[in-house]
Structure 1
Amino acid sequence: MAERARRDDRRRRATPAGQRTVRAHNLALVAGHVARAGPASRARMAGATGLNKTTVSSLVAELIARGVLRETDLERPGAVGRPAVRLELDDRRWVGLGLEVNVSHVGLCVRDLRGEVRHEVLVRRDNRDADVDVTLADVAGLAADALRPLRAAGMRCAGATLAVPGLVDAAAGRLAVAPNLGWDDVAVGRRLHAALGAPAFEILVDNEANLGALAEHWDGAAADRDDVIYVSADIGVGGGIIVGGELQRGALGFGGEFGHIPVEPDGLPCACGRTGCLETRIGQSALLARVGRDPSEALSGADPRWPVVDLAAQAAAGDPLVLEALEEAGRWLGFALAGAANLLNPTTVVLGGFLGLLGDWLVAPVRDELARRVIGADRSAVEVRVSTFGLLAAVRGGAAVAIRGLLADPERTDRLERATGAVMLGAGG
């Protein structure tokens, strides 16, 4: 492996910069085609990418050596002619890591290049006003436990993405503010990198609802839709906006703060310091208070889904107070979504987080409000769907972002292979 890295170094130094750029682009083009279209022969790749067969064969050989592609079964386009060997994404060497710190839990997901989940976990943890470094050390411990057996099997981490609630400067890897978490202006990316033992791989940071929206758009409830509003709720309420298949962040990257849409001019006080936010009507604490339960239950119990699963059981049993509260929450949610739908014209709304767990009772009132309030709803109704991944959407999306980063830049495997120490978790892992 080290010898191949040295050969690649010599080849790059001997190749003009322009040619290196073209080759890097073409490596990503071929890897991306297989990721999107599935297994294909070299000839089929050449036809799909517009590259000649000799170039494709050279690129495929390099991608195989890098652990990005592998040969699989034979392609038989017809009865005549020699069958061609197909190439598929190699699921044996590289994984992407998705991590999350939310108000009521921490979580993790590891996925291989084919998107298969190798490890996934949610752990109840009250993170309100928690010490940043202690919390990130706990998350790093989860990562170490998950990646250790994969490292023993010869797999390497291609990258990691940390999901957090609140306003995130993704380019800088900083959490600007998370009112429900109590963290302000924290370089969470840099500090997690240190907690992981300074690994060779890159650590990105993004808002948890943005990553949940990407997970649902790429692999989940909205995989067949390109214009989507994703709404996720834990203690707080967030949103992710997909327009034309692309995540929309806004000028500073703070877009999608759906829970802080004002719905009542003189409404209840919100954790953000303002009043009348949607979160004060449909957040988990608000919902518990509405049914006469202690809002602190939102952070109790070992299961991160508690007490929402209990509310769902009560609703299924016909509890009138719970049913009334869910109907009311659905109307508030639909009211706010109608404004967003009139502005953005989505085809689909996805209810995520604990909203998805209560989807059986929220979808109908949300749909009714959208039908009443969205202009043009009689021509093309906004469809309301329940999240595929629930509370795991953010970590699923985070792992997918890491995987897609490697497929968009296969040459980064050189840096990861050359790095000293354990490439999975750094020298301390």
Structure 2
Amino acid sequence: MSITRKDFFESLAQAVCQSVSGTDRVTLYLRAEDSDFIRFNRAAVRQATHVTQGFATVAVVQGSRRIESSRSLTGRVAEDTAALLADRADLIASLAEVPDDPYLLLPEDVTSSSRHETGALPSPEALVIATTSAARGLDFVGFYAGGALVRAFADSRGSRHWHHVESFHFDWCLYQQADKAVKTAYAGTRWDPDEFARRVATGAQRLPLLGLEPRKLSPGAYRAYFTPAAMNELLGTLAWSGFGAQSRRTGTSSLSRLEHRDAQLHDSFHLKEDTAGSIAPAFTAEGFAKPASVNLIDAGRAAGTLNSPRSARQYNLAANGANAQESPEALSLATGTLREADVLSALDTGLYVSNLWYLNYSDRQACRMTGMTRFACFWVDGGQLVAPLPVMRFDDSFLRMFGEGLVDFTDTAEMVPESGTYKERQLMSITTPGALVADWKLTL
């Protein structure tokens, strides 16, 4: 039986999530995937792997004591059930040694949810054909990851949650020479070979520009357009400490000035945690049901926060499905009015920033970020890409960039999923439009 099948999980939950003497509740949480991984070099397959794996976490609770253990699964119901029951017995035996947790908060309501989406993903054979066709004659280096992802929760009180989505993420570079490359990505739940080919062709059209003499810039302030890939890096850095209840209460949030009304973003800046519109599950590993969305920034002003169960207990707040780190899993930034076809003409003269990396805070309290441009960033003159840029460092306040500095967002947004595959694929994503900003500060 497949690890990603609902009946497999139900068989485990039926056996493990029983009322047991000495416990108030028993919970079971499943993370599983059925994924293809394909690596390309010079538009040819260099590595192809298929991974089916699952991890189960059993937890037992008595009063304010909770203890858990995790194990990888075999996919054989009888064998996995026996192992999890043994884990449960060991945990119950250890409960007496666990200290009371004054901040333990668990859901009181019995809840249930089910989302099962199959998507439209390419077979490995179709992906290889599409790639070798679109990238013929190009030095194409890329990595594809796609397949089913599952999260599931059950407890001994009757709560049941199931989440099954199929998604893909394919990012690649077209190399001009040495380290000069155009980086592109394509991700989602429904594969379109024509859209993939279009993105490869767009990157290929920019390759000759990388062979031109780079435009040397002096440190200063420049008009700049950030692609969704670049915006993903900026918003991802903001997510490190910007939205959590604990960081706000302890004064360590990068958005403290926004919280205290000492600063304001542009009126068109609307940001939310959009679980319903993403690929993230609508429940947590502890069994909390998540709201469809949580407003984080409304018309440039601080709105809600992400409240983990521990912060909810500590600060007398309502838990709203945040993870232990209180980091967002489904950020969504509202679109603007700038048509994508008009981006270069609206930029007119300035920087086309395709990618950013090595981001960090240079002044967290001021929400000031620093980082480097990456890959094919260009100087634009008269609405035309005219020369590549050397690697440049920026240092600027996010509050300034997207406050007084914001010109407009594009009228379409792109979902950029978390591309990390260490141990397992992820269900986090950031959905963002591109952004046109004035006076972006380059330092060297």
The TM-score bracket by the shorter chain reads under 0.3
* Greater fraction strand: 2
* Greater fraction helix: 1
TM-score normalised over the length of structure 1: 0.25
Q: Tell me: higher relative CO, structure 1 or 2? Use CA pairs within 8 A at least 6 residues apart.
A: 1
